[in-house]
Amino acid sequence: MKEYSDLQRARNIFKPILPNVLNNAINNITPIIRNEVINTNLNIKKIFPNTYGKPNIHFKNGVNCSIIKKAIKVAVIFSGGQAPGGHNVVAGIFDGLKRANKNNVLIGYLGGASGILHNQYKSIEQKNLSNYRNTGGFNLIYSGRTKIETIEQLSLMKKNFASCNIDALIIIGGDDSNTNAAIIAEYFKKQNSTTCIIGVPKTIDGDLQNKYIEIPFGFDTATKIYSELVGNICIDVCSSRKYWHFIRLMGRSASHITLEVGLQTHPNIILIGEEILAKKMTLSNIVDNIINIIIKRSNLNKNFGIVLVPEGLIEFIPEIRELIANLNDIIDNHVKIIGQLQSIEEKEKFIYSKLSAESYNLIKSLPNNIASQFILDRDPHGNIQVSSIETEKLLITMIEQKLNELSSIGKYHGSFNAISHFFGYEGRCGMPSNFDANYAYALGYNASILVLNGITGYLSSVRHLTRDPALWECGGIPLTNMMTIEKRNGVDKPVIQKTLVNIHANPFLEFFNNKDKWILNEDYISPGPIQYFGSKNITNVITQTLKLKHKK
């Protein structure tokens, strides 16, 4: 970026608050073993014999005689989609390393893991880093989605690290990227290498959370950006009083973003995929429920409203999950035949002929453009690209059809004018909130202390996030402690499991206890844009999700 707004210049001089334990001299930060139950999955132990079974670590004040004295060279990569705060992670790593030894070196591989394989990197210095502090995006060193998993890739990685004298790699990424970090750490241990591998939890989707990770960085900022947009629409709908807005929000695998935005803005309808799965609702059930609400509001002369739809809603509907599984099996088992068919119509006819009766009836009930997306839009692995299915438009089409039928027999007398939206990329590169600026910086600084202590196969952990940042607890969690076995493309693989919305926990219950009130009333909240300066009760507010998770 060559030009900067006044706000960007002001954010550039913002100083993140370091947790007290990290604010000490580096050699006064001591890693302490915390005796917690480790992962007891024996399959994980077999896959990771060299890194399995390590204890959790937390830092405390004290003289640390074992910390690395010689200068070291550390590499960092961004992996996966962008999340606000990424540059502050890099800034935290840089500052931690330089505070320990001014001769420590930080480089960034360009474009994620592919940069490692192609040996493309840049030196990160105070001069080129200074303009990126507290800014959004990953544009300092870019990101990528390459995973280093094969023996050939791992061997090349080791070779390139040796040529550059790399002592440690810090991977900033989500669940898949940190699973990859565990695989890389295990490989280097098996090779008797001293190269340290550390992960940092990142994703706006919020699905990388568990008892060790309260929230990944980026979620706070992204949900505040989406909430501002939804809040604006709430005010607009109250002003015009004539439109139903269907808003799809990012979050393919879990509904955390939709739930958080709902808690911040109080729309009339919030579809939570995990609730729909638990209740085993069909697509028709969902549509009928929305129609009942539309009619109730219409009877109050309210032909308007707001509906939030999670990006991954489709995969939570049991009958559609069965349809997707059925389609995947057919396409996997008949790749050659389908590939030889010339037209889309021929391919559809062949695939439809192989479907179960239930799946056939379901896909034939869908609008043609949506049905085609199930068959034609596939990712490089051959799977349906669920996130590209315009679920909000599917719901609108089905609702319009049923309302027209009800209107024709005199059971609906209102008007239904729908507008669809998808808020996704708008939130990924926003300027980080004060929370994310502080949190990401602490995660990076904390990661630098882990590698300075020669620790490998761990995730940088900063906890107790509802406290003042100075009181946050820091340390590391073994990556294998968070892993399980899942079937991916028909093969059992170790993964850090995505965490879905818990429908028995406080955040969901807060929504559940208020949803009837929000359905019929305009209890809308417009939170406005992120505030960076001013009263702390405005600038330092945290997400409802975190508040409610810690509610006693």
For 354-381, write each residue's pLDDT tens digit: 999 999 999 998 888 888 888 766 655 5
Strand ranges for 11-124 from DSSP E: 29-34, 56-61, 73-79, 105-109, 121-123
CB 171 within 8 A of CB 200: yes
pLDDT level of residue 42 (50, 70, 90 thresholds) = confident
Q: Higher-confidence residue: 474 or 13? A: 474
User: Which residues are CB-neighbours of 290 under 8 A, at least 6 positions away?
Assistant: 269, 307, 395, 399
State the SS3 of 364-384: HHCCHHHHHHHHHCECCCCCE
- Do domains 20-218+432-488 and 221-428+504-549 share one topology? The answer is yes
Per-residue pLDDT, averaged over 39-65, amounts to 91
pTM for the model stands at 0.94
Alpha carbons 122 and 144: distance in angstroms, whole number: 16
176: its two tokens:
């898949």
**The pLDDT value given to residue 218:** 98
Closest to 458 measured CA to CA, from 217, 212, 216: 212
Distance of CA 277 to the CA centre of its chain: 20
Q: Which of 95, 167, 176, 205 is catalytic?
A: 205
pLDDT digits (tens, 9 = 90+) for 264-320: 999 999 999 999 999 999 999 999 999 999 999 999 999 999 999 999 999 999 999
Mean pLDDT is highest, among 225-234, 320-329, 342-351, for: 225-234
Q: Is the pLDDT of residue 1 over 60?
A: no
Q: Which residues of 386-415 are buried (b: 16+ CB within 10 A; e: fewer)?
A: bbebbbbbbbbbbbeebbeebeeeeebebe
Alpha carbons 98 and 452: distance in angstroms, whole number: 11
User: Looking at domain 221-428+504-549, which CATH architecture does it have?
Assistant: 3-Layer(aba) Sandwich (3.40)
Is 205 part of the annotated catalytic residue set?
yes
AA letter at 123: S
**The pLDDT value given to residue 325:** 87
pLDDT level of residue 39 (50, 70, 90 thresholds) = confident
Alpha carbons 481 and 495: distance in angstroms, whole number: 11
H or E, element range at 248:
strand 244-249
Q: Where are the alpha helices (DSSP H) in 479-535?
A: 506-520
Q: Is the pLDDT of residue 546 over 90?
A: yes
CB 314 within 8 A of CB 248: no
Spans of all domains in the chain: 20-218+432-488, 221-428+504-549
Q: Which CATH number fits domain 20-218+432-488: 3.40.50.450, 2.60.120.10, 3.40.50.1980, 3.10.150.10?
A: 3.40.50.450
